[in-house]
Structures are given as C-alpha cells and as structure tokens.
C-alpha cells in the first residue's frame, strides 16, 4: 500500500505530536492508519453498505483470541508482543500520563478540540479530554473506571460526564445532535441490546438535571478517523491548570482513593 506520509503525520497531530510518541505507539498508529485506508478503499470499491456482525458471531470469536476484548491498552497488544514501557517520572503529572501511557490519545484530543471549538463549558472540555483515558487500564465499563480514576482531581460535573457517557452512547438524541454510531454495530453486533444496568442508567439520566453533561461528551465523541485533524494537549493546558488538582507528590503517590489505579498504569508489568 502507498502511504501518504504527510496525511499520516497530520492524522497524528503533526510532527510535534509524533515526536512525543514512542516507537510502539507509532507502529500501532501506522497499522491503524493502513487498516482504515484499506477499509475505505474496500467500501468504495464495493459501493455497498457494510455488513455488520451479529452478537452471536462476535461471541464465536472469543475463543479464537489469547486476550479478552475488555483488557486495557497498556496490558495487551493485539498485533504482537508488548514493548518495554518508559518509566514514569518521580512525581508524575497528568501530562506525563498522556505522553507515556495514554499516547497517542488522538481520539480524546480530537473530542476535546471539538468541544473547545464549539464553545462548550470548561467542565465539558475537560470531560471530553479525559473521557476514554481509562481504556488504557480497562475497556469494559470504561465510563465508570474513568470517573473513578479522575474523581479525586476534577470537578463533579466532569466526573459525571465521564461516568455516564458510557451509557448514553447507546441511545440516540437527535435534538442534541447524537446518532447511534455505525462503529457500535461493528464492535457490539448489529442486534446488540445494552445490559440492564446501562438501560437503568439511561432512564435515570433522562430525568437528571445534569443530563447534558454526559450527553455533550457523546456529542463530541468522534467515531470517524479525521486524517486532517491536528491535535495536541497544549491548547488544554490552561483548563487542566484551572480544573485538574494535580497532587504535588505525583499521581499514584498521593494516597487518593484512585492512587492505586495510577500506580497500576505507571507499572503494568508488576506481576502481583
């Protein structure tokens, strides 16, 4: 396949963003890019709508893998061996985790960029920036994991947005500008029905005064890969400075209720 180098680098946020990525992140990003290009070429060539798998077809794949789909990104490399991670600095900050554990973080940076461009509140922009970061640790129920990870450090509304975007993703709200994403037909199955806790959470949220907090996280949740997006964490430094209570000892060293989660991210190779 011909690789459009400029478009690929632009898709990662430009040369500055690429320089922050380690070699594993670069290799992963290149593979994702090539897969996307292939998918696009295939869809155009066939000129037909994509056929989505059923829940049963996806379940049949479980025993064909040596990992589970819910495992966090720092624990599993679905395309080969994992690599040695660069150690975290002594008193790690949120920005250090973005660089060394969440990278390339393109999806959350694109979501937060969209929230900022469309003039949303700082709590929403922060929620968008952090909404999927916990997927480094755990993908299953990542809204709840993410809210727990960040709760000691961020405004309550941002935590609320992160926790509950997970449920609202499954329910369209065209008035708010959110449609059910094709991606979910692909990864959950075309006949997927959310489990009871998600359905109950959705019902609770519909009548909640903060409904729009998680809803706006879903509105900014971009499922399409934008090859022209230039993203960086730099535009969010002021918002992080104002709303993220960075502990002086460093994340993981402050005895907060989620310190162990940060330590696990910092050191996912610990055998016990």
Please, which residue, 94 or 168, has the CB nearer to Fe ion?
168
Cα–Cα distances in angstroms (integers) from residue 84 to residues 25, 76, 87, 134, 269, in the given order:
12, 12, 9, 20, 9
C-beta of 5: minimal distance to Fe ion in Å? 27
- Name residue, tokens 């937060």: 112
Please, which residue, 142 or 243, has the CB nearer to Fe ion?
142
> x/- contact string, 210-229, with Fe ion (CB under 5 A)?
-----------x--------
C-beta of 166: minimal distance to Fe ion in Å? 6
> x/- contact string, 94-133, with Fe ion (CB under 5 A)?
--------------------------------------x-
> x/- contact string, 131-150, with Fe ion (CB under 5 A)?
-x------------------
CB atoms within 10 A of CB 99: 21
C-beta of 108: minimal distance to Fe ion in Å? 7
Please, which residue, 106 or 250, has the CB nearer to Fe ion?
106
Give the binding-site size for Fe ion (rule: CB under 5 A): 2
Cα distance from N-terminal residue to C-terminal residue, the chain: 43
Please, which residue, 123 or 132, has the CB nearer to Fe ion?
132
Distance CA 207, CA 203 (A): 7
Please, which residue, 141 or 254, has the CB nearer to Fe ion?
141
C-beta of 14: minimal distance to Fe ion in Å? 21
Please, which residue, 161 or 250, has the CB nearer to Fe ion?
161
Residues contributing to the site for Fe ion (CB under 5 A)? 132, 221
């Amino acid at each position: 396949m011909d690789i459009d180098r400029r478009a690929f680098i632009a898709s990662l946020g430009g040369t500055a963003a690429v320089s922050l990525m380690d070699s594993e992140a670069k290799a992963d990003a290149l593979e994702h890019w090539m897969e996307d290009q292939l998918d696009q070429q295939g869809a155009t060539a066939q000129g037909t709508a994509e056929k989505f798998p059923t829940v049963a077809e996806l379940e049949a794949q479980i025993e064909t893998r040596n990992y589970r789909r819910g495992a966090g990104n720092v624990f599993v490399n679905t395309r080969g061996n994992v690599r040695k991670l660069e150690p975290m600095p002594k008193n790690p900050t949120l920005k250090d985790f973005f660089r060394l554990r969440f990278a390339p973080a393109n999806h959350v940076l694109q979501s937060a960029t969209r929230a900022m461009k469309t003039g949303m509140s700082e709590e929403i922009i922060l929620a968008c920036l952090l909404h999927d970061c916990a997927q480094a640790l755990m993908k299953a129920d990542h809204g709840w994991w993410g809210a727990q990870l960040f709760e000691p450090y961020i405004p309550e509304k941002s935590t609320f947005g992160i926790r509950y975007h997970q449920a609202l993703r499954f329910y369209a709200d065209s008035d708010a500008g959110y449609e059910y994403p094709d991606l979910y037909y692909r990864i959950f199955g075309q006949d997927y029905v959310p489990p009871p806790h998600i359905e109950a959470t959705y019902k609770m949220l519909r009548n909640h005064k903060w409904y729009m907090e998680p809803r706006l996280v879903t509105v900014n949740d971009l499922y399409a890969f934008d090859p022209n997006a230039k993203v960086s964490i730099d535009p969010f430094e002021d918002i992080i400075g104002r709303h993220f209570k960075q502990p002086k000892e460093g994340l993981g060293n402050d005895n907060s209720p989620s310190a162990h989660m940060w330590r696990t991210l910092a050191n996912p190779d610990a055998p016990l």
